[in-house]
Amino acid sequence: MNTARLILDPRRRVAPVPRRLFGSFVEHLGRCVYTGIYEPGHPTADADGFRGDVLALVRELGVTTIRYPGGNFVSSYRWEDGVGPLDQRPARLDLAWHSLETNAFGLDEFARWVDKADVEPIMALNLGTRGTAEAVELLEYANHRGGSHLADRRRDNGAADPYGIRLWCLGNEMDGPWQVGARTAAEYGRLAAQTAKAMRRFDPTLELIACGSSHFGMPTFGTWERDVLTEAYDDIDLISLHAYYQPVGDDLPSFLASAEDMDRYIDAVTAIADSVGAIRRSTKKIMIAFDEWNVWYQSAAPSTPPSGEDWPVAPPLLEDHYSVADAVVVGGLLISLLRHSDRVTAACQAQLVNVIAPIMTEPGGSAWRQTIFHPFARTARHARGTVLDVLRAGSTTSTERYGEVDAVDAVSTWDESSGEMTVFLVNRVLATPAEVTVDVSGAQLAAIIECVTVGGADLDARNTPDGPDHAAPRPNETAHRAGAGVRLTLPPASWTMLRLQATEATL
């Protein structure tokens, strides 16, 4: 059996838990919008055509922000097509996913949907086929109170009050050769800076995200961030990171340790951003928006878009059906994001419904939770207050991709107002349980509130419409008081949440 010892002390604080860390992503891709969040005629649909069963699951999932409308889709999107009377909206070819976009769902519908879901919108701008002028026009339509042409157009379309969108993405993956309108770092950096300056003339308090590298393995990684920030450092607030994970062959040990890659990626971009700031002698810190992350089986058939003369409406695309192993990895990635909460202040799991998503639907039928729903929902609900700097010691395990890594990964949060200390743990070892000692140093432990685990058996199990709870969290009965702390056993390849009631010790 592997062992681990964790030392938790409320005085060792990383940063407040950023509520925007628990964001998601809605793109006009596959069935994410149509028959996902929007399906007029569905038995649960409301007057706006929004599926009530999906809205209920979104609230249960606990997402705090939604990035929209893309993704690759945004780089040739005309936002004007998605506002105004439905019978006057044009259908357009979507060059990103080789589909036909009806524009039955657009900005006005999205604004009504996020209001009903009680989440904050994040708006992505088309800096692929469009530029600064169109970005400012969209900002005026969305956020100006009235008296201008575009603000009055919004009011005529039924929205008297501005949408008040605070967080904006200046394009999407502009370094990617697959992107419509891809640019060099210098070209994009200048355009991002110019667009940011113009948007701030309307509202200097907006929060703006520049595109970082599309992924850690891009050949231009590092130089892209450096060159973009050299152009736009003073004009933007955050830089984006994107990462997707899947097993490579039969290498499950490395897959279970995917958070190692996320840790290194965040640390690398932080160092690059700080180096640009140091050269500029700036006291400003560029924060990170990890606004696309998830498990995605990119080589699988569902990830292949249509081709040729086939331009279908909302074809099934990227509909991965997630396993217990995938849920354990998602839980580990959330640990990494929390651990870096001093710099990662926004994140979006991609995507929300049907497309590499925690929620699946049947057209006209049911909606259900995928395995990855559970670690996200539990973390979003119980990671409150402040992230603690967890001191770790114990066994390591060998991986092909990342070398020797900690067998048990963990992070903890401390909610001073409620006295709740929550520990999130992953046993990365495929076949061996781990005995973990949690030393609650600096606090007085009062009680174990709850301990639940996902994993430990049948890593290939999946949830289905007929078996929606095959991979739900189960009580972990091994957690017990041990002196001033807690001892528990983590099953092999598992994610666990331990909730404790404690009071901070006085000096």
Angle, alpha carbons 256-261-262 (nearest 5°): 100
* 292 is an active site residue: yes
Determine which one of 39, 80, 173, 231 is catalytic.
Answer: 173
Inter-axis angle of helices 52-61 and 107-117, nearest 10: 60
Determine which one of 80, 120, 260, 292 is catalytic.
Answer: 292
**Would the CA dihedral through 113, 116, 117, 121 be positive or negative?**
positive
CA dist., res. 17 & res. 8, Å (int): 16
CA dist., res. 18 & res. 67, Å (int): 16
Tell whether omega for the bond before 246 is within 30 degrees of 0, i.e. cis: no
- Altogether, the residues listed in the chain come to a count of 507
Neighbours of 186 (CB within 10 A): 12
CA dist., res. 141 & res. 250, Å (int): 50
DSSP codes of every residue in 174-229:
TT-TTSTT---HHHHHHHHHHHHHHHHHH-TT-EEEE---SSTT-TTTTHHHHHHH
Neighbours of 469 (CB within 10 A): 11
CA 240 to chain centre: 11
* 416 is an active site residue: no
Nearest to 411 by CA among 20, 65, 15: 15
Catalytic residue positions? 173, 292
